[in-house]
């Protein structure tokens, strides 16, 4: 027990000092902003620039001709595991071009490196805010937007950086969409379950003739596996990617069992397996000193043809308390919000389940800050981009909240969405009565 406590203290100290990527920024060549050709989706007259921060993060900044004086600072999803590239923020700018079309300036960046690290990414996001303020002037308002894993990043940035050391506010409001808001220690366990269930039925990740390793590692340290190779293994086992007529009865049975036990749709299995492979490897070996943050020791798996056999043969793993503590320090949320915050989540999001938003409501309530949180939901079945008028409606609702102090209602957001629909040509699918449960 003494050794365990010593390791726990050591790893928490490592996290505080930068173990998940928040250490003193690496020396990088600062690239001064240069003019760029804006994505075609942006309104005519918009000006765009790109540059590189001292941390190494690449950024893009866009300002429309009819700028409304407000800045949206964007935290992107992922985590992206490759090395950051200059053009990556342009993809996010194109995806959320409806914000620029509504008159907002927009700034988004990569993070200083690929891989996991919520506090690191939050620091890089706040650094971009300062770059924009210094380079182009402080806007009338700065709104922080986080999408997907970027929702975790933006929520953490709001907790850590919303109020400067002199007491002034860095952010006026926060928008979190499709966000990983349940915290890092609760966000990925279902993917660890997928790896364990998949291996029972497929036994090819790893294959019997390959190096064996605990599945929670994702891959052994230093190993690699491309998405194409992982896809080939999934297809060989289950027939995913083949027409149903070309699948064998054995493949159909394996696929049926995997889907029934995990609750995941066929078209999303590869994506979740990829996260449970390459992201887990990065998280465990590069960020958690080889420790295991996942635990299935008390889980009973149900829904298969033979549940007793499944539970008897499935690989079990117990979480390392030190690894859990380090991950919690980096990525869990306190709910201590200090500025008006709105969230938007699709009820049937296949990537980040809507229960994340339910957990965030619970966390914020426990912190006594529910009066600063307004949450909204749609009936969509997608994750990466919801219908454009809905983002516009939430931005307008947030503006009104900041203007008059009245927390937005679902009915008000529905009306704002209908107003925006004429300008953006997509349907409003907001469900005003839905409220999710928190993550289990």
Q: What is the DSSP track for 233-246?
A: HHHHHH-TTS-GGG
pLDDT of residue 133: 97
Query: For the residues 32-43, what does the mean pLDDT come to?
Result: 96
Q: What is the DSSP track for 34-69?
A: EEEPPPTTSPTT-EEEEEE-TTS-EEEEEE-TT--S
pLDDT reading at 28 higher than 90:
no
pLDDT of residue 27: 57
For the chain, give the percent of residues with pLDDT over 90.
90
Residues contacting residue 26 through CB under 8 Å, at least 6 positions apart: 55, 56, 112, 113
pLDDT of residue 20: 63
Same-domain pairing of 304 and 374: no
**Is 436 inside any structural domain?**
no
pLDDT reading at 230 higher than 50:
yes
Enter the tokens of residue 306: 């033979």
Of 320, 350, 365, which closes a domain? 320
Same-domain pairing of 157 and 16: yes
Say if CB 72 and CB 145 are below 8 A apart. yes
Q: Could you tell me which residue, 30 or 43, shows the higher pLDDT? A: 43
Q: Could you tell me which residue, 91 or 82, shows the higher pLDDT? A: 91
Q: Quick one: how many helices (H) and strands (E) in the chain? A: 16, 9
What domain range includes position 360?
A: 10-184+330-424
Same-domain pairing of 18 and 163: yes
Structure confidence by residue, pLDDT tens digits, 181-211: 999 999 999 999 999 999 999 999 999 999 9
Of 320, 338, 367, which closes a domain? 320
CATH classification of the domain holding 407: 3.40.50.1820
Q: Could you tell me which residue, 425 or 289, shows the higher pLDDT? A: 289
How far apart, in whole angstroms, are the C-alpha atoms of residue 359 and residue 181? 7
pLDDT of residue 15: 44
Q: Could you tell me which residue, 6 or 315, shows the higher pLDDT? A: 315
**Is 359 inside any structural domain?**
yes
pLDDT reading at 164 higher than 90:
no
Same-domain pairing of 394 and 409: yes
pLDDT reading at 23 higher than 70:
no
Place of tokens 């990829």: 274
pLDDT of residue 177: 98
Structure confidence by residue, pLDDT tens digits, 335-360: 999 999 999 999 999 999 999 999 99
pLDDT of residue 30: 87
pLDDT of residue 405: 95
Pick the range with the lowest mean pLDDT from 27-36, 205-214, 370-379, 399-408. 27-36
Q: Could you tell me which residue, 256 or 29, shows the higher pLDDT? A: 256
| pTM for the predicted model, two decimal places | 0.92
Place of tokens 């983002």: 391
pLDDT band at 3 (very low <50, low <70, confident <90, very high): very low
Place of tokens 């990569």: 110
Of 320, 342, 362, which closes a domain? 320
Same-domain pairing of 195 and 294: yes
For the chain, give the percent of residues with pLDDT over 70.
94
Pairing of strands 173-177, 141-147: parallel
How far apart, in whole angstroms, are the C-alpha atoms of residue 190 and residue 211? 24
How far apart, in whole angstroms, are the C-alpha atoms of residue 294 and residue 71? 38
Same-domain pairing of 39 and 67: yes
Same-domain pairing of 158 and 192: no
Structure confidence by residue, pLDDT tens digits, 109-161: 999 999 999 999 999 999 999 999 999 999 999 999 999 999 999 999 999 99
Same-domain pairing of 15 and 154: yes
Number of domains in the chain: 2
Same-domain pairing of 411 and 289: no
pLDDT reading at 47 higher than 60:
yes
């Amino acid at each position: 027990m003494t050794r365990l406590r010593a390791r726990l203290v050591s790893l928490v100290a490592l996290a505080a000092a930068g173990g998940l990527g928040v250490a003193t920024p690496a020396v990088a060549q600062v690239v001064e902003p240069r003019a760029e050709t804006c994505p075609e989706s942006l309104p005519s007259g918009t000006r765009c620039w790109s540059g590189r921060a001292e941390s190494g993060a690449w950024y893009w900044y866009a300002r429309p001709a009819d700028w409304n004086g407000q800045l949206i600072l964007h935290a992107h999803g992922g985590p992206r595991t490759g090395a950051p590239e200059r053009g990556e923020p342009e993809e996010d700018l194109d995806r959320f071009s409806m914000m620029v079309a509504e008159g907002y300036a927009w700034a988004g960046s990569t993070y200083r490196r690929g891989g996991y690290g919520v506090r690191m990414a939050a620091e890089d996001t706040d650094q971009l805010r300062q770059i924009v303020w210094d380079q182009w002037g402080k806007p009338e308002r700065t709104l922080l937007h986080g999408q997907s894993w970027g929702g975790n990043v933006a929520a953490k940035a709001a907790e850590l950086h919303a109020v400067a050391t002199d007491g002034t506010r860095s952010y006026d409001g926060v928008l979190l969409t499709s966000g990983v808001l349940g915290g890092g220690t609760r966000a990925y366990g279902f993917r660890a379950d997928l790896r364990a269930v998949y291996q029972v039925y497929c036994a090819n990740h790893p294959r019997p003739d390959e190096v064996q390793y605990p599945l929670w590692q994702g891959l052994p340290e230093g190993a690699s596996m491309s998405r194409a190779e992982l896809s080939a293994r999934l297809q060989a086992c289950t027939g995913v990617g083949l027409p149903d007529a070309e699948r064998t009865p054995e493949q159909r049975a394996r696929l049926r069992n995997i889907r029934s036990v995990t609750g995941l749709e066929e078209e999303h299995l590869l994506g979740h397996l990829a996260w449970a492979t390459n992201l887990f490897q990065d998280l465990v070996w590069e960020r958690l000193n080889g420790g295991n943050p996942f635990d299935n020791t008390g889980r009973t798996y149900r829904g298969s043809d033979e549940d007793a056999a499944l539970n008897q043969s499935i690989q079990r793993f117990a979480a390392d308390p030190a690894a859990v503590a380090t991950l919690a320090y980096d990525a869990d949320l306190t709910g201590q919000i200090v500025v008006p915050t709105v969230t938007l989540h699709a009820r049937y999001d296949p990537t980040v389940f809507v229960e994340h938003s339910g957990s965030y409501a619970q966390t914020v309530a426990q912190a006594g800050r529910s009066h600063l949180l307004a949450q909204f939901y749609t009936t969509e079945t997608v994750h990466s981009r919801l219908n454009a008028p809905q983002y516009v409606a939430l931005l307008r609702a947030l503006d009104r909240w900041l203007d008059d102090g009245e927390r937005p209602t679902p009915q008000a957001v529905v009306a704002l969405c209908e107003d925006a629909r004429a300008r953006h040509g997509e349907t409003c699918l907001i469900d005003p009565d839905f409220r999710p449960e928190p993550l289990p």
